[in-house]
Structure formats: structure tokens, C-alpha cells
Chain A
Amino acid sequence: MDLGTMTAQLERLRSDALDAVATAADPAALDAAQLAFLGRKGAITELLRGIGRLPAEDRPRMGAVGNEVREAVEAAVSERSRDLRGAALIARLAAEAVDVTTPGRRIARGTRHPIAETIAAIDEVFGRFGFVVYEGPEVEDDVTNFQMLNIPADHPARDLWDTLYVDIPDHLLRTHTSPGQIRVMRETRPPIRALLPGRCFRYEAVDASHGFEFFQVEGLMVDEGTSLADLKGLLEEFGHALFGVGRATRFRPGYYPFTEPSVAFDVGCVVCDGSGCPACGRTGWMTILGAGMVHPVVLRNGGIDPERYQGFAFGMGVERIAMLRHGVHDLRLFMENDLRFLEQFR
């Protein structure tokens, strides 16, 4: 074969190869075409193997042409390959399209009980004022639940707490968190800022606003100068924190044997904002907690000198606060634990 013939054949192969590459419909066809022309037994490879039989002076020239053809075909293959892969990707993406309007695959999430959540909210407010949490037993003795709190046996004020008694002598189910005051005073020294959340019990028929088991949060603050004015300021902040800044608050006399003076603390009705409605008995006010200056006898029972120290205590029903905050009208819902109710507090 001479140079001319070989060159002509090479040019034909180039043309054939470029055609084959250009018309390869998919990566497999392209691979086949590449193999057919440039593989070890491919047509171009085979042809170029004949260079050695050309005259010596023609070999460099033919080699240069051969390389140029090989590189051209290789370039065409790789360009075609890019095109084909791009097309395949586009086709795959098109095939993978979904209806994006369907809802996601739901992730499980539970809810905290609204009473636990309300206790946490109360803790947070008083925590900012330096109150720390304590807890006490639920099966209390009569001495701590009543007598230490200035409520002797057969005191008429005992009518304020209908009590469930248990079969342990002189023990009962605590009727309030107030015995915690005594426990805290005996455990620590002033300055005291304590918060006592917990479960309480009363002999009380169940209705929309009463239960025989319920939760309270008690607060106690004792120091040398802690006054009724401090109590008033603190409770006003609390009222604003839970029921909105600017919520009207009211202090009026109340009665508890373990505080003197005693206080009932009202906030402006959360339903009518104070204009008067059935929810607030048309008074415009709702009582949310009882409080007062710790009775000197109680301080003394707690081992604290009532001449040097003074302080205040407050106690609130968590259910009542939760009902007002969340617009719940029936206290029984909290202990029924109907998931349809609980799941509203997500």
C-alpha cells in the first residue's frame, strides 16, 4: 500500500468513524463505535498498523495524519459521550418527577401535658426572680399540712380544706403545697426564694372547676425587708407574664390562717378584659391565687425569727391558670387525657 491509498483509506475511516459516533444513539452504541474504530482490533488501529510497511520517508507523514485522525475521532467520542450522558440525565430527571403537592411523611411528635407545661411556664417567670424549685411529699402528716401552718385541730378554718385522710395514723393527702413552706424554711436559711410545684388532693366532688386531685404551685420569699409591696410588685409581673403585659391586676384582702395580712390576687377577666361577663361573675375580675405575708407563728414554726425576718407566700391552682391561659372550660379534661385534647397543645 502506498501513502496515497493509505491516506485515502484513513480519510474514509475518519469519515465513517465520525458518522458512527455522531449517530450513536446511546452510550452503549458509542462504546461499540469507539471499539470498532479505535479498539485494539478497530479499523483505524488496524490500518495504522500498516505504517511500518510504508517507505521510511513516508512514515512520519503518515504517522502524523494517523494521530490526527485518531485524536479527532477520540475527541468526537468524548464530545458525543458528554452529550449522551447529559441526555440520559435529563431523561432520568424527567422520569423521576413526582407530585410535589402530596403531604410529607409524617414525623412523630408528642406533646407535653398542658398542666406540666403550665407549671414550667410558672417556674420560668419566678425563676427569673431567683426562685428555686423544691418538692415535698404528697402523703403529709397533719402537723405539717395544718398545725405548723397555724391551723390547729378543730380550727374552723379547716373547713377551707376538705381533707382526704389515709390509713397511716395522723397522715393525710396534702390539701395544698403550703406545707412545703415549713419544709423549705427548715432546710435553708434566709434569703429564701422558693417555688414548690406539686400534686394536691381534696375531698371534693368533681365538676367543671373542681377535682379531687389537682396541681398547685407554692411560692415563698423570706428576708429582712420583704414586704407586702414586694409581693404586690412580683405578682403584678407574674400576671403580666402569663396573661399579657398591661393586664390589669388587683390586690384585695383574703383569709388564710398562715398569712397575715392575707391577699386574694385578681387579674382583669381574660374573657371580657374587665367589662364584665358571665365568666367573671360580671365583676370584670378573676381570682388567680391566694397570698399574704407569712404569719409570724408560721415563720417561728419554720425556725425563723419573725422579729428579724418577714416574708410572703403565695399559692395557685395550676388547672385554674391553665384554663384561663388556654380557654379551657372544663377542668376534668386535664385528667381525662383524651389525645384529641392533649394534641392541641403541640
Chain B
Amino acid sequence: MRVPLSWLRDYVDVDVDLAVLAERLTLLGMEVEAIERWGAAWRSVVVGELLTVERHPRADRLSLTTVTIGSGEPLRIVCGATNIAPGQRVPVALPGAVLPGDRRIERTEKMGIASEGMLCSGDELQLTTDADGILILPPETPLGVDLSDLYGDIVLDVDVKPNRGDALSLIGLAREVSAVTGAPVRHPTVEIVETDPGVADRLRVIVDEPGLCTRFVGRWVTGVRVGPSPDLVQMRLRAAGMRPVSNVVDASNYVMLELGKPTHAFDARAVRDGTIVVRLARHGERLETLDHVVRELDPETLIIADPTGPIGIAGVMGGAGSEVADDTTDVIVESAIFDPVSIRRTGQRYALRSEASLRFEKGQDVPAARVGADRVASLIVAWSGGSVLRGRVDTDPREPGPSRVAFRPSRIERLLGTARAADEQRALLARVGVGTEVAPAGTPVVVAIGTDPLIVEPGVDTLVASVPTWRRDIVIEADVAEEIARVGGYDTVPTRTPETLMPSFRPSPLGVRDAVREALVGAGLTEVLTHALVSPRSAADFPWPDDAEIPSGEEPSGGTVITVRNPLSQQHSVLRQHLPASLLEILAANERHGAERVAIFEAGKGYAAEGGRAREWWRLAFLLAGPADPPAWNRPARPADLDDAKAVVELVAERLGLGRVAFTADRRGNPFHPGRAARVRAVLPESGGPRAVGLVTAPGDLALSGHVAELHPAVAAAWEVRAPRVLVAELAIAGLAGGSLAAPRARALPRFQSVERDLAVVVGDGVTAAAVLATAGRAAGDLLQDLRLFDVYQGAPLAPDERSLAIHLVLQAADRTLTDAEVDGVVATVTDALAAELGGRIRT
């Protein structure tokens, strides 16, 4: 709400410093977002008097004038306007002046005659809309005075919250100023001279929808002469952000800003039979609105109609056909109360919100319908002549009195944590026009309203607040509390550190996520946060598999994609189901900035719809591209490959105390490199764990699963990635959605020596390392403490289809040092098993 200070002063004295006023309004809840100096754009524009006006000797359309500005020699100024005459006082832009729009005025020559400045129109000064004529100032305007001193103004831009529709008006903000300063509020006086016949002879109003139009007040002004409003009115409207239109329309807008009451003026000629019908639109009805858009009306739209059809959309915008025109003589003033919800829905359906509809949406003060109609009618007469027909048409003249809200001062003290006596609370309420009295015995207190209201029996100290009709926001006890806190000042609320009971301990649902994040950051990966809203293309172009078995307690991926019905752009119109595509985009963007080594991860959600509900699941994704290690002069660069990515998976598993990660080949291809992709599984180990807490608790339960792969080169190319190899993974992890980690369990250190043996096993190249390790592990039995692959060899003297896998066994018993015979026995068992199950032979 833009508040010109000079206009505000019509309703309340403002004697405090502007900055102080702005701060105190802000602290009262009426945040002053900006203080604008209106007219600050005029420099060196002063008041002058025309001494002579003659025709320019060489140009018929120009005048040659002499102007005095009260001191110095008269100025010779060439002017193109025709509304000027000697003796008039006018705005003179001197050479060097600056006008709105940063327009600079210099000494110029016009058709051979020097012009020492310029006479200004209201439009050039952005004071009025008149661009044709020079702005003629009142004859008593002092000569030589800077125009900004006369017409400059200060405009406060106040952020009025949606619950305070009453403050979307100058009178409402004057009340707030009054609450701050104690200065009384001056209401505008409405004086109407009425003439016969009575309005009822001319105007009939039929409300078909009394639920949507609870009151309709009509006035009729006859004999108007439509023209521009007085300059002062135009200036005020402009400063407040509205465009002056005509004296009739401006009267309506002026009252809307003054009282917060939207009204509408119809040209009476366009209202057939003087009959206004407030009804819902019918199928197929159309209306050209004031913005000259022809709109199809739907049957949910409340309209103003005459017997022939719609003439306005109620509370939102009038029709072009009934617009007040230059030759309008009779005006019907509509001042109605419409249902806020209906107006809001209509505005949204037609994407048409007006200053009027914004006010209707917030609810209207019932008596204001009558006051507004009278005020508009009186201003029309004052500005455009004519007279007001006797009486009003009023569909429901009942006007409620102040509402009564019971409250308990002691309860308010408990809520605010302040210590203010009841009398002090009553004094604060009085400053905003809320009267108080001791509640009659048995007055109940409304604690909560709505679908499930709570009304309690009164205590001994109950008071009743008498709330003015315009304060529709004060309904329950808590509203009274806010009013007391607000007027008393939030700065007077004491500061206390909470001392009440503490809730019982609850493990953080971020535990597992935080542990994984820390491990990955420590390993050189950088965390990213990317958009959950993605392009519908990304899932099609990067089809991440949904077939992984998921740890129990975690949500499986896959399902119907959730689409945004009103997206900002196609680029961000669906909720993603997988994270790697987002990481790939981040890789491509960083490569464009010259990044070579990209190692990033994100813990984020996937989303899908199922049976009218949404499912969401947490996943960890990471991506590696470029050198495996940060560049260093003393280390050759080595491109990251699948083994680096697998190591990241193993690191995560280790951090969570899981067992060995099992990788199995995934040859599906797209989006993976068909020969370099693996499914991943890790389970809770027999001992040492479990570390992850969630629904996964038993040893052997699946705790981590997903895919780790080198990206298919075609997918990488589609994303315009430069790195020759891109490694990606997405993992489901037990506890990622809300688990935390248990403390690791320590094991006793072995008291006896372990024995180590290395074996090189030659197998066919179709036999995987996982198979060799699994067979060896199984055969070695309980004495096996550790089993690792430490070398892979292919080449002479082996056959071309053979590989040698070297494994390292650590054997140990808890209760003795193993003998050579025992160790040899285990090795023989392993060797036999490798031979029998995998056709392996020991290389010596």
C-alpha cells in the first residue's frame, strides 16, 4: 500500500520524524518497506507567471512567451501548448532542469528563437495525465518556489499483511499512526445534497445470490459533466500508484484508497431499465471487461447484470459497455459486499486481480458499504457537478455493532510471558479503538474456532473486548493477545531462556546420512545439492534400473512419475526418481568451467506416485570423472576407473560396519558400459556389527544395494561430457531414510600367531575373482581370518584363455598356534576345492 504522507495528514496529524514514524509503524506490524520521495525526479522546476503569450513568428503551432519567476529578467520560452494565457501561473523547467525519466532541459533554439527553458504539462511532471496542456497552477501559488517543495510528497510503501484488509486504506493506516502517536483520527465528513426524484424511482437492484452478495448499496448521480479530476486529486492518485481516469472514476478509486471500500460507477444509460441483477453467469455469456478483453463467463462467476446481460464481473472488474464516458450524464454507484472466497476464485480463474478484488478477498466492513456509496456520490458531485437522487437502494441495511471477544488477562500473560495488569492491557487495546468491559458472569471464552472449536468456561477475571467492525481479524482470545503485544511493543516482551521440561532423547534421523557424508568428504568427494524437479527427458535419456533388491525399511524406487501441474518450465516439471542424471548435469556444467577432476555425491530423494499417494525414497549417488587423485607434481595422473568407484562403495560399507561388498556383473548396457557395470550388495556381518540401525538388524540381512558402473559412452556423449570415462553409482542403504549408527562392538585381539599363505590359481578366463574367493573362503573353513586377492596375471606361459589369480590367506585359531600340518591341510582343502569346483590349478 502506497501512502502519500500529505494525503495521510488529512486523517491524522503526523508530527514525528519520518524515520521514527516508519520504524514505529514497522514495530507495530505495518512494515514500512520503503520511503519514497515523490517529485524527487524534478530538479530546477519552479513556479512562474506568464507575462506575455504571442504567436511564434515562424511557426503557427508555437507560442512565444515571456515568463517571470519572481526574480531576474523575464525568460523567453517557446511553447507548443494552446491552453496558456498571460497571468497564469505555470511550472517552468529552467535550463539544466531534470524531469521524470531523466529528461534534461537545456537552452535550445526553436525555429530561430532561443528558448530559455520549458513550460511543463502535468504529464511531463508525472503529476497528472494531461499531456496536451501546460499544468495551470492555482493563482495563489507563490512565484519562484521549487515545484518539489509544493507538490513533492513522501510516499510510504507499507507491507499490509493479508489479515489486515482494513489497513489497505489511508484511514486504516491513520488508525495505526494514531495507535503509535495518540493523535486522534479524523474521518472524512460526507455531506450530500439530495434532490428528487428518489433513487428508487430510477434504480432497482435484485440480488439472486444473497449468499455471495450480502449487501448492495446503490446511489444515482444525475447531471454530471465528465472531465479530468482536480489536479490535487490526480496528484494523490498518482502518488498512490493509480492512474487518474476521469472525475467520476477517480472518485471511486479515491474512496477505495481512502476508506478501503471498492465501489463501481456505471454509466446509467448502459443499465437497461435501471435494473441491476446480481447473479451467477450463464453458460455462453460473454463480457468485454474494462481492459478490453472479451471473456467467456462461467457459471461460477458472480456478475452484475442488467436485464439484457452482464455489465460487470462482481468485485473484480467492470464491463467496457457500461464504462463512464465523456458524454455520460447519469452515474449509478455500486457499493456492495461480496463473498471473499467467490471473488478470490473468480480472480484466479480469469487471472484477473484488481485493486478492488484484492480488498474484497480480505473481507469488507459492513457499514462501509453505505459510507462508501455516500462518499463516492458526494465526491462525484464535488468534482463533476450534478446532484444525487434522494436516498439509497440498500438490499440489507442492517449493520452489526462491534463484535465481542472474551479474554482472560491472566491467560494472555501466560501466553506472552509478560507481567501486565488487566488495566494496562485495557489501555493498550483502547489505543486501537478496542473497548473493554468486565465480562458478564458466565461469559465463555473462545480459545479456538474452525471445524473443531474450543470454548471454555470463564475464569474470575474475564474481560470482553468490543472490537470495531473493521477489525475482522480479532476473533479469539489469542487475537486479543497479539493486539496487546503489538500495541505494547514486542520490545517490551522479556527475554527468557526456556526452562520447561525437556523431551526424551530421540536418535537423529540424519545419523546414517551424516556418517556417509563425512566418510565421502574425507575421501575427496564433494557434496552437491541438485534440483528434485527435473526434465521429463532425463529419465528417458538416462534409464537407471529399478530392479535392485532394497534393504528392508527403505523404500524401493520406481513407479508413476509425479508431474507438476503448473511447472515454471519444462526443464523442471517432474520429480526425479534417480539422482545420477542430476550429477551428470553438474559434471557437464563444471567441465564447461574447465574442471578436470570431478568427484561428487548427493544424498537425496526419489519420488513416485502410487494409488493416489506419493512415495519418497532416499538414495546415495556419486560420480567420478577425470583423474582419480587431485593433481600433484609428484604423482602421475591416473584416470579414475571402475575400481575407484567400487572402492567408494566399499568405503561406505566399511563406515557402516557392513561385511564384504559383493559385486556381480550387470551386462544390461544402456545406461551402463555393458562390460563395466556391477550390481552391488552388502549385508550385515556376523560379528563386529550391526552398525546401521533401522529395520535391518539380523546378521546376513541386506544393508546396501544398488549399481556402480562406468557410464555408456553414448549416454555421456548425449550429456556433452568430455571426460573419457564417467563412473556413477546409486545406492540404497539401510538407515539412510532415518537411521542412526550404533556404537561398534570391539573384539578381543588374537593371542596366538596367525599364519599367512599365498596361492596363485590358474583358472579359465570365464571364472570370476568373486567365484575364486568364494570357493577358497568356503573351503578354508573356520580358521580363515582374512582372504584377499592380491594379483591378477594373464599372458605367457599361461594359455590365452587363462588367468592367474593370486590370493592371500590368513589363518588363525583362537586357542593355539597352528601347526604346519594344520596349515598344510587347510591349503590342500582350498586347492582341491578350487580344482574341483572351478577347474583351477595351482601355479608354482
The chain B residue sitting closest to A112, CB to CB, is: B527
Contact flag A110-B567 (CB < 8 Å), given A237-B497, A262-B482:
no
The chain A residue sitting closest to B738, CB to CB, is: A135
A22 within 8 A of B: no
Q: Please determine whether A230 and B496 come into contact, CB atoms closer than 8 angstroms.
A: yes
B136 within 8 A of A: no
Contact flag A229-B418 (CB < 8 Å), given A167-B562, A306-B448, A339-B590:
yes
A296 within 8 A of B: yes
Q: Please determine whether A281 and B34 come into contact, CB atoms closer than 8 angstroms.
A: yes
Q: Please determine whether A251 and B491 come into contact, CB atoms closer than 8 angstroms.
A: yes
Q: Please determine whether A339 and B595 come into contact, CB atoms closer than 8 angstroms.
A: yes
Contact flag A228-B493 (CB < 8 Å), given A139-B575, A337-B589:
yes
Q: Please determine whether A253 and B485 come into contact, CB atoms closer than 8 angstroms.
A: yes
Give the number of chain A interface residues (Cβ < 8 Å): 103
Give Cα A167–Cα B574 distance, bound, in whole angstroms.
10
The chain A residue sitting closest to B478, CB to CB, is: A260
Partner of A226, one of B361, B490, B498, B528: B498
Q: Please determine whether B503 and A192 come into contact, CB atoms closer than 8 angstroms.
A: yes
A40 within 8 A of B: no
The chain A residue sitting closest to B413, CB to CB, is: A227
A323 within 8 A of B: no
Per-residue contact bits, chain B 589-614, to A (CB 8 Å; 1 contact, 0 not): 11001010011110001010100111
Contact flag A307-B456 (CB < 8 Å), given A138-B616, A139-B614, A337-B589:
yes
Give Cα A154–Cα B34 distance, bound, in whole angstroms.
29
- Cβ < 8 Å to A, chain B residues 509-545: 509-510, 514, 517, 520-533
**CB-defined contacts of A130 to chain B, threshold 8 Å:** 502-503
**CB-defined contacts of B607 to chain A, threshold 8 Å:** 138-139
Give Cα A12–Cα B201 distance, bound, in whole angstroms.
158
Q: Please determine whether A281 and B33 come into contact, CB atoms closer than 8 angstroms.
A: yes
Q: How far is the CB of B723 from chain A (nearest CB, A)?
A: 14
**CB-defined contacts of B500 to chain A, threshold 8 Å:** 191, 223-226, 230
**CB-defined contacts of B27 to chain A, threshold 8 Å:** 252-253
Q: Please determine whether A167 and B565 come into contact, CB atoms closer than 8 angstroms.
A: yes
**CB-defined contacts of B562 to chain A, threshold 8 Å:** 139, 166-168
Partner of A157, one of B163, B345, B456, B503: B163
**CB-defined contacts of B599 to chain A, threshold 8 Å:** 108, 110
Per-residue contact bits, chain A 210-252, to B (CB 8 Å; 1 contact, 0 not): 0011010000010111111110111011000000000000111
**CB-defined contacts of A205 to chain B, threshold 8 Å:** 568
A103 within 8 A of B: yes
Give Cα A291–Cα B362 distance, bound, in whole angstroms.
22
Q: Please determine whether B493 and A229 come into contact, CB atoms closer than 8 angstroms.
A: yes
A261 within 8 A of B: yes
Partner of B526, one of A234, A254, A264, A342: A342
Partner of A339, one of B33, B478, B598: B598
B416 within 8 A of A: yes
The chain B residue sitting closest to A226, CB to CB, is: B500
The chain A residue sitting closest to B634, CB to CB, is: A105
Per-residue contact bits, chain A 295-326, to B (CB 8 Å; 1 contact, 0 not): 11101110001110010000000000000000
B572 within 8 A of A: yes
**CB-defined contacts of A109 to chain B, threshold 8 Å:** 521-522, 524
Q: Please determine whether A165 and B565 come into contact, CB atoms closer than 8 angstroms.
A: yes
Per-residue contact bits, chain A 277-299, to B (CB 8 Å; 1 contact, 0 not): 00001010000000001011101
B548 within 8 A of A: no
Q: How far is the CB of A21 from chain B (nearest CB, A)?
A: 44
Per-residue contact bits, chain A 127-157, to B (CB 8 Å; 1 contact, 0 not): 0011011110111000000000010011111
B292 within 8 A of A: no
B631 within 8 A of A: yes
Q: Please determine whether B494 and A229 come into contact, CB atoms closer than 8 angstroms.
A: yes
Q: Please determine whether A113 and B527 come into contact, CB atoms closer than 8 angstroms.
A: yes
Number of residue pairs spanning A and B whose beta carbons lie under 8 angstroms apart:
294
Q: Please determine whether B563 and A166 come into contact, CB atoms closer than 8 angstroms.
A: yes
Q: Please determine whether B524 and A108 come into contact, CB atoms closer than 8 angstroms.
A: yes
**CB-defined contacts of A102 to chain B, threshold 8 Å:** 633-634
**CB-defined contacts of A108 to chain B, threshold 8 Å:** 523-524, 599, 629-630
B28 within 8 A of A: yes
Partner of A103, one of B418, B456, B524, B633: B633
Q: Please determine whether A306 and B614 come into contact, CB atoms closer than 8 angstroms.
A: no
B692 within 8 A of A: no
A188 within 8 A of B: yes
Give Cα A203–Cα B569 distance, bound, in whole angstroms.
10
Contact flag A132-B505 (CB < 8 Å), given A112-B521, A253-B482:
yes
Partner of B566, one of A164, A233, A253, A310: A164
Q: How far is the CB of A102 from chain B (nearest CB, A)?
A: 7
The chain A residue sitting closest to B514, CB to CB, is: A120
Partner of A261, one of B482, B575, B630: B482
Partner of A337, one of B33, B345, B524, B586: B586
The chain B residue sitting closest to A198, CB to CB, is: B605
Partner of A154, one of B344, B525, B613: B344
The chain A residue sitting closest to B165, CB to CB, is: A156
Q: How far is the CB of A334 from chain B (nearest CB, A)?
A: 7
A207 within 8 A of B: no
Partner of B502, one of A103, A193, A293, A305: A193
Give Cα A110–Cα B795 distance, bound, in whole angstroms.
39
Contact flag A232-B495 (CB < 8 Å), given A109-B522, A261-B486, A281-B34:
yes
**CB-defined contacts of B449 to chain A, threshold 8 Å:** 297
B748 within 8 A of A: no
**CB-defined contacts of B598 to chain A, threshold 8 Å:** 339
Give Cα A250–Cα B31 distance, bound, in whole angstroms.
13
Contact flag A310-B415 (CB < 8 Å), given A229-B495, A260-B478:
yes
The chain A residue sitting closest to B35, CB to CB, is: A282
Q: How far is the CB of A262 from chain B (nearest CB, A)?
A: 7
Q: Please determine whether A335 and B530 come into contact, CB atoms closer than 8 angstroms.
A: yes
A2 within 8 A of B: no
Give Cα A137–Cα B598 distance, bound, in whole angstroms.
31
Contact flag A160-B162 (CB < 8 Å), given A166-B565, A296-B448:
yes
Q: Please determine whether A116 and B414 come into contact, CB atoms closer than 8 angstroms.
A: no
A9 within 8 A of B: no
Q: Please determine whether B501 and A223 come into contact, CB atoms closer than 8 angstroms.
A: yes
Give Cα A156–Cα B163 distance, bound, in whole angstroms.
8
Q: Please determine whether A173 and B564 come into contact, CB atoms closer than 8 angstroms.
A: yes
**CB-defined contacts of A132 to chain B, threshold 8 Å:** 503, 505-506, 508
A53 within 8 A of B: no
Give Cα A212–Cα B609 distance, bound, in whole angstroms.
21
Give Cα A266–Cα B179 distance, bound, in whole angstroms.
23
B781 within 8 A of A: no
**CB-defined contacts of A227 to chain B, threshold 8 Å:** 414-417, 496
Shortest 6 CB-CB contacts between residues of A and residues of B? A108-B524, A229-B417, A227-B417, A253-B29, A255-B161, A261-B482
29 A/B residue pairs, CB under 8 Å, sorted by A: A106-B629, A106-B632, A110-B525, A110-B599, A113-B527, A130-B503, A137-B616, A138-B605, A154-B340, A156-B362, A160-B162, A165-B565, A166-B565, A194-B503, A201-B532, A201-B533, A212-B572, A227-B415, A227-B416, A229-B495, A230-B496, A253-B29, A261-B481, A293-B478, A293-B481, A299-B448, A339-B595, A339-B600, A340-B593
Which A residues contact B (CB, under 8 angstroms)?
102-113, 115-116, 120, 123, 129-130, 132-135, 137-139, 150, 153-157, 159-160, 164-169, 171, 173, 188, 191-194, 199, 201, 203-206, 212-213, 215, 221, 223-230, 232-234, 236-237, 250-255, 257, 260-264, 281, 283, 293, 295-297, 299-301, 305-307, 310, 334-340, 342-343
Beyond A204-B568, A281-B34, 15 extra complex contacts between A and B, CB < 8 Å: A110-B600, A130-B503, A153-B341, A164-B564, A168-B614, A192-B503, A223-B501, A227-B417, A229-B416, A234-B498, A260-B479, A261-B486, A296-B454, A296-B477, A335-B530
